[in-house]
A and B are shown apart, each in its own frame.
Chain A
Amino acid sequence: MSDTALVVRERAGLRGALGAAGPLVALLALVLLGAAVNPAFLGPDNISNVLTRSAIVGIIAVGTTFVITAGGLDLSVGSMSALIAGLMILAMNTLLPFLGAGWTTVLLGMGAALLLGLLCGGLNGLLVVKGGVDAFIATLGTMGVFRSVLTWVANGGSISLDFGLRSVARPIYYGGVFGVSFPLLALLAVSVLGEVALRRMRFGRHVAAIGSNREVARYSAVRVDRVRVLTYVIQGVCVALATLIYVPRLGAATPATGLMWELEAIAAVVIGGTALNGGFGRVWGSVVGVLILGLIQNILNLSNLVSPYLNGAFQGAIIIIAVVLQQRRKPR
C-alpha cells in the first residue's frame, strides 16, 4: 500500500473530488435538520455566529491536517492556545503605558503571539523528530507544560486585557466587510493557502509521502526530518492565528481556555477524510469537519431535540456517522 502511495497521490485529486461527498453529505444533513428544528437556524445572524465561532478551531484544524497527514499527532494545541492567549494579553498590557491603547500595541501583541506559536510548534517538532519521542507522548507532555505555565502565570485565575485595548481589538472578532466577519475571512484565507500547499505544492506531496511511508520517502530524497518539523511549526502558527481571533472575543485567557480543542481539531480532520495514520490529507475536508462540529452544538442549543444530559452522545453519534459516510465513498 505505502510503496505505491506516491503514485496513488496523483490520482487522489480526481478521486478526492468524487469521494468528497461524505463530509458534505453530513454537513447538508445537519443543515436540513437545523432548518427543521428552528426557523432561526438559517437566519443570517445565526449562520454568521456559527461560522465566526468555528473559525477559531477551523484555523487550528488546518494545521492539524498537515501534522496528521505526515503521520504525526499534536495533542498540545488547546493548551498552546491558552498559553499564547495569556502571554499575548500580558504583552499588550505591559506595552500599554508606553505605546497607549492603539493599534501599535495590539499589532505588537499579535506579533508576539505569532512568534510564540512558531516557538511552541518548533519545540514540539524538535522533541518528536530530533528527540525521537513518540508524538503522542511528546505533545501530551507539552500539553501539560503549556497549560500549567499559563495557570502559573495567571495565578490560577484569568488574565484580562485592559479595557481600553479591548475596544481597540474588539472589531477583529466582531467586525467584518460586506457582512463577512474577519474571522471567517481569515479561515478562508488560511484554508485556501493550506489546501494549495498540501495538494498542489511539492511540500504537500512530501508531507503525504512521509505519512505514507517514512523510509520510502527518505530513500526518495525527501528531507524527512525538516518536513516533519515544519508540519509542527505550521500547526504552531495556525494555533497562534486562531488565538489572535480568540483573544478579542472575550478579552481574557483562563486555565479553561482551549480545553479539548485538540480533540475537536483531530475529530474534524478525521471527519474531513484525512487518514488518521497519515499519508492522505485534505484541508477543506477538515474545515467542513469543524463546521459539522459547530453545527451540532448550535442545533442542540437551538432546540429541545435531546436532553442536555445527552448532548455528548448526540455529538459522538454524528461524528461516527460522518466518518462512516466518508469511508463508504472512499475506495481504499
Chain B
Amino acid sequence: MKRRAFSIAAGAILAGVLGFAGPAAAEKVKIGISIPAATHGWTGGLNYQTNRTVDAMRKAFPDVEFIVAAASDPNKQVNDVEDLVATHRINALVILPFESEPLTEPVKQVRKQGVFVTVVDRGLSEPGIENLYVGGNNPQYGVVAAEYFKRKFPNGASIVVMRGIPTAIDNIRIEAFQKALAGTKIKVLDMQYANWNPDKGFQVMQDYLQRFSAIDGVWAGDDDAALGALEAIKQAGRQDKIALLGGSGMNRVVKAVMDGGSPIDADIFYPPTIIIPAIGLTVLRSTTQAPVQGRYVLDSPLITKENAGDYYFAASPY
C-alpha cells in the first residue's frame, strides 16, 4: 500500500518534471480500474484477479500506468470514479459497477470527457454509454440452472431457491430461471435471500429442511451459499435425496465436481476472471489503437465432471 502510494507520487513528480522538460516527451497512458471491494467470495476473487492482471500488465506495458480503486458501496464508487478522472486524469476507465442505477450518470460524465470506458459484468442502466462491454451472461446463468433441474427431474420435482444480495444481477438471473421453468412440473417451494454467503446459506437451508419434508433440489445461486447449504443437508442426513446446485465456479466446488462423489455434481461458470479480458482489451486499445468497441460476452455454461478441468484454477482464492 505504502509502496504503491509512493510510486504514484513518484510518477506524478516525474510527469511534472517531464512536462517542464519538453512537450515532446510521450505521455504515459493512465488506466483507472474501479471495482467493488471484497464483500463476498466472488468479489474477493475479483480483487485477486484484478491485482494479478494489473501486476502482469505493468511488467508487459511499462508505459501504461494503472490505478486500482476498490469501493465498499456504490456511493464510494462514484467518489472513486470522480477522483480517477479529476486527480489522476485517466485516459481509460475499466469499471465493474456496484449497482447499475447510481453509476450510470457518473460514468456518462466520464465518457463525455473523452475517456475510453469499459464496463464489466453489471451493465449500466442506459445503453450506449460505454465503448466496450465485457460480461458474463446473467440470463443464461438462470436458464442453465433451470435446465439442470429439468434434466435431473424430467417427471417434476419440488425445489427451493436461495437468492443472492438484492441487486439487478440477482433479479435478472432469478427472472430467467423462473421463465425457463414455467410450464414444467418443477415447483419452486420458496425463495429466500442468502446473500451469496455460506453462513446465511447454512441457516436458510436448515430452516428449509425443517419446513419442507420433501425437497428434491436446491438452487443456492452461488457456490458460497451452496457450501453452507451442503453442511445443513449433511447434518440432516439428506445428502442422497437432494440435488444441490450453486454457481459461479468457485475453485473448491469445481474441484469437487471434477473429483466426483460430492452431492454437488455440477456448477455454472461465471467466474471473477471476466475482469482479465476487460483489462487486457482496454490496455491493447490504449497501446496499439486496436479497435475494440462493442460487446464481449462470455458464456455461462454448465460445468460437469467431463469439462470441469477447463474451469479449474487451483491457485485462485475463490
Give chain A's interface residues, CB within 8 Å of chain B.
38, 40-41, 43, 45-46, 49, 53, 151, 154-158, 160, 174, 249-250, 252, 254-257, 259, 297-298, 300-304, 308-309, 311
**A160-B252, A256-B40 known; A40 vs B48 contact (CB < 8 Å):** no
Q: Judging by beta carbons under 8 Å apart, are B40 and A250 in contact?
A: no
Query: Across the interface, do A156 and B210 meet the contact criterion of CB distance under 8 Å?
Result: no
- CB pair A250 B199 closer than 8 Å: yes
Say if the beta carbon of B116 comes within 8 Å of chain A: no
Q: Are A40 and B210 in contact (CB under 8 A)?
A: yes
Expressed in whole angstroms, the Cα–Cα distance for A298 and B208 within the complex equals 10
Please pick, from A156, A302, A303, A304, the residue contacting B38 in the complex, using a CB distance under 8 A. Answer: A156
Using A256-B197, A311-B193 as known contacts, say yes or no to A157 and B44 having CB atoms under 8 A apart.
yes
Contact A45 B210 (CB under 8 A): yes
A298–B204 Cα distance when bound, in Å, is: 8
Residues of B within 8 A of A (CB): 38-41, 43-48, 163, 166, 190-193, 195, 197-199, 202-204, 206-208, 210-211, 224, 227-228, 231, 235-236, 252, 316-318
Between A and B, 28 residue pairs with Cβ closer than 8 Å are A38-B211, A40-B210, A49-B206, A49-B207, A49-B210, A53-B203, A53-B206, A156-B43, A156-B44, A156-B317, A157-B44, A157-B45, A160-B252, A250-B227, A250-B228, A250-B231, A254-B197, A255-B39, A255-B40, A256-B41, A256-B195, A297-B203, A301-B192, A301-B203, A301-B204, A301-B211, A308-B191, A311-B193
Shortest C-beta distance, A42 to chain B (Å), equals 10
Contact B235 A174 (CB under 8 A): yes
Contact B191–A302 (Cβ < 8 Å):
no
Residues of A within 8 A of B228 (CB): 250
Residue of A45, A158, A303 near B41 (CB, 8 A) is A158
Known contacts A254-B224, A311-B193, A156 near B47 by CB under 8 Å: yes
Kindly report which residue of chain B lies nearest to residue A303, judged by CB atoms: B211
Question: In the complex, are the beta carbons of B198 and A302 less than 8 A apart?
Answer: no
Q: Roughly how many angstroms separate A40 CA and B206 CA in the complex, as a whole number?
A: 12
A41 CA to B191 CA, complexed, in Å: 19
Q: In the complex, are the beta carbons of A155 and B317 less than 8 A apart? A: yes
Point out the residues of chain A lying under 8 angstroms from B191, CB to CB.
308
Q: Which of B190, B195, B197, B211 interacts with A40 by CB under 8 Å?
A: B211
B206 CB contacts on chain A under 8 angstroms: 49, 53
Q: Is the CB of A255 within 8 A of B203?
A: no
A298 contacts which of B166, B207, B227 (Cβ < 8 Å)?
B207
Pair A158/B207 contact, Cβ less than 8 Å: no
Bound complex: CA A297 to CA B41 (Å) = 23
B-side contacts of A303, CB under 8 Å? 211
Q: Is the CB of B317 within 8 A of A158?
A: yes
What residues on A are CB-neighbors of B47 within 8 Å? 156
Closest-by-CB residue of A relative to B207 is: A301
**Complex CA distance for A45 and B235, rounded to whole angstroms:** 11
Q: Is the CB of B210 within 8 A of A158?
A: no
In the bound complex, CA of A257 to CA of B40 (Å): 9
What A residues does B48 contact at CB under 8 A?
Answer: 155-157
Give, as a whole number of angstroms, the nearest-CB distance from B90 to chain A. Answer: 23
Q: Establish whether residues B231 and A46, one from each chain, have CB atoms under 8 Å apart when the complex forms.
A: no
- List chain A residues, Cβ under 8 A from B163: 308
> Which residues in A have their C-beta under 8 angstroms from that of B198?
250, 252, 254, 256
Cβ–Cβ < 8 Å partners of A256 in chain B: 39-41, 195, 197-199, 224
Provide the bound-state CA to CA distance between A313 and B189, in Å.
23
Chain A residues near B224 (CB, 8 Å)? 158, 254, 256
Assess whether A43 is in contact with B210, with CB atoms less than 8 Å apart: yes
Chain B residues with Cβ below 8 Å from A250 are 198-199, 202, 227-228, 231
The list of the 5 closest CB pairs from A to B, nearest first, reads A157-B317, A301-B207, A156-B44, A155-B317, A156-B47
CA distance A103 to B43 in the complex (A): 34
**CB–CB A254/B208 < 8 A:** no
Q: A154-B317, A155-B317, A309-B166 are in contact. Are A46 and B44 (CB under 8 A)?
A: no
Nearest opposing residue in chain A for B317, CB measure: A157
Q: Which residues from chain A contact B316 at a C-beta distance below 8 Å?
A: 157
Contact B45 A156 (CB under 8 A): yes
* A residues less than 8 Å from B166 (CB atoms): 309
Shortest CB–CB separation between residue B301 and chain A, in angstroms? 23
Given contacts A53-B203, A157-B45, 12 further A-B contacts (CB under 8 A): A49-B210, A151-B44, A154-B317, A155-B48, A156-B48, A157-B44, A250-B228, A252-B227, A254-B224, A255-B39, A256-B39, A308-B163
Chain A residues contacting B235 (CB-CB under 8 Å) are 174
Given contacts A158-B41, A160-B252, A252-B227, contact A302 B210 (CB under 8 A): yes
Cα-based distance from A219 to B227 in the complex (angstroms):
55
Instruction: Establish whether residues A151 and B210, one from each chain, have CB atoms under 8 Å apart when the complex forms.
Output: no
Cα distance A304–B160 when bound, in Å? 13
Q: Which of B195, B211, B318 is in CB contact (< 8 Å) with A158? A: B318
Residues of A within 8 A of B40 (CB): 254-256
Contact (Cβ within 8 A) B193 A308: yes
Q: Name which residue of chain B comes closest to A156, CB basis.
A: B44
Determine the residue in chain B with the shortest Cβ distance to A53. Answer: B203
B-side contacts of A43, CB under 8 Å: 210
CB distance from A51 to the nearest CB of B (A): 12
Q: Which residues of B contact A254 (CB under 8 A)?
A: 40-41, 44, 197-198, 224
